[in-house]
A = this chain, B = another copy of it.
């Protein structure tokens, strides 16, 4: 490709609208342009990267035995009615009516369409297992699209769905897909981790997320410093402290200070205090509201997902209002404490291990010190309800927790029978009985990977693409070609030679100053720059610059092809 016949569209300035580095660089390097909130046009350079990611994903899906299909983006709403998600999905599901006022949705995912298809096409156990995938445009009406294609509204996804007779068969395909995902991210050249994940609203049993590690990631991931263990912080278990709880050593006493103030004035360790929250309990229709107290160590954070998964808790998780707290404990939330509280109490494992601790006294502005669970409180229910923190023992039993940030680029689920049951998707078994299928589903954010790769691979000058997804393998940058026939001839000859060998080469034939050309190619992140200059041509050399290492060296023109072998 000659630059003069290409749409380079690099920008010198960083657009003010772009908050994260990948979005800034994608705009500056001419990869995408914004069309409307969360909607982007992929420019030629960006599209080359996108297609390379897509091809690697496709190859590994095929290697894993998945078969490619293509489902429509516009889906009839009645399929979503059938699965029960039309109401559940919320406003991210864009609902539309056609000219005949029939209801449709813009597909954010395709469980319904594929389950319906399989229900119609597959009749016998002999046709199973079946694993189908597509690489297709999806739409999710994000309330606040941001970070460019990282959290856009229209985006490219690979979604795969597998169908099985029974759990064992699903487990086998799940493992095959897990391995395929690892191969994909290995081939993409990204530093990633598969992590144990919460299944979220898609439902189902086991689930792994694949994260590209980057400081700018939106998710916290808990690792063991001594094993392969990795889990989304939302899902990582906080295990109970070792040892038995000690006997009381102090008398309980009342202090005329709010807990917060007490900690400041009395040099109390936050780790020896507890905080108390009130949430709505689950109750049947018509029954009076019921509240439940949640108690955590003062230095720990509530994990709402863990609480929601407990029985007896209202879903979605709902915190008591100030008025409700007053009615129950006759005090403000900051003075709540577990002693003498007239509701059921759930205590986090770490808080439950405390002895002689400090807490609110359920009287405004008063605290207790020297509290002990067995001596001073009613019976408590001990659960894991907090986020893990760095230094916690790893739940795998080996090492301690380290927390890093990640960008979720893949997610695999064991869905179970949720969709197959709702949509009547079953087959005749060997015994002639009808059995509902068990499903898995497997997503990869193809366009998101492009942004994540940049978050992980950039420097002050621009993008440093992993070789497998660089838009061009090499750039030819001639110095003052207009003034030197020899430079022009050499550059043209090199270009012809590289093109003929099938190398993806960009030839910068613009009449620009060398500085401008270098800046553009460093920004775009082409791995190798071949600099053709008059002063090296006497020895028939060109300068080779490695974008990743920054190294420069002279190389004989006749040896250039060895760079690509």
Interface residues of chain A, those whose CB is within 8 Å of chain B, are 4-7, 9, 33, 35-37, 39-44, 47, 50, 65, 67-76, 91-92, 94, 96, 98-99, 102, 104, 106, 113, 116-117, 120-121, 126-127, 130, 132, 137, 139, 141, 143, 153-154
Contact = CB atoms under 8 A, between A and B. Distances in A.
A139 B137 CA distance: 13
Nearest to A39: B72
Copies of this chain in the oligomer? 2
Contact of A35 (B47, B65, B75): B75
19 contacts: A4-B126, A5-B65, A6-B67, A33-B120, A33-B121, A35-B72, A35-B116, A36-B76, A39-B72, A39-B76, A41-B69, A41-B70, A41-B113, A44-B67, A74-B139, A94-B99, A96-B96, A98-B141, A99-B143
B72 A121 contact: no
B72 A154 contact: yes
A90 B37 CA distance: 25
A37 B76 CA distance: 9
Contacts of A137: 73, 137
A50 to B, nearest CB: 7
A36 B113 CA distance: 10
A9 B73 CA distance: 22
A74 B41 contact: no
Contacts of A102: 36-37
A41 B132 CA distance: 12
A117 to B, nearest CB: 6
B94 A35 contact: no
A71 B117 contact: no
A54 to B, nearest CB: 11
A68 B42 CA distance: 9
Given A35-B113, A76-B35, A99-B91, A71 B41 contact: yes
A495 to B, nearest CB: 16
Nearest to A141: B99
Contacts of A139: 73-74
Nearest to A152: B72
A47 B65 contact: no
Contacts of A7: 67, 69, 121, 130, 132
A482 to B, nearest CB: 14
Contacts of A39: 72, 74-76
B121 A9 contact: yes
B76 A41 contact: no
Contacts of A113: 35, 41
A73 B153 CA distance: 11
Contact of A47 (B37, B70, B104, B126): B70
A160 to B, nearest CB: 13
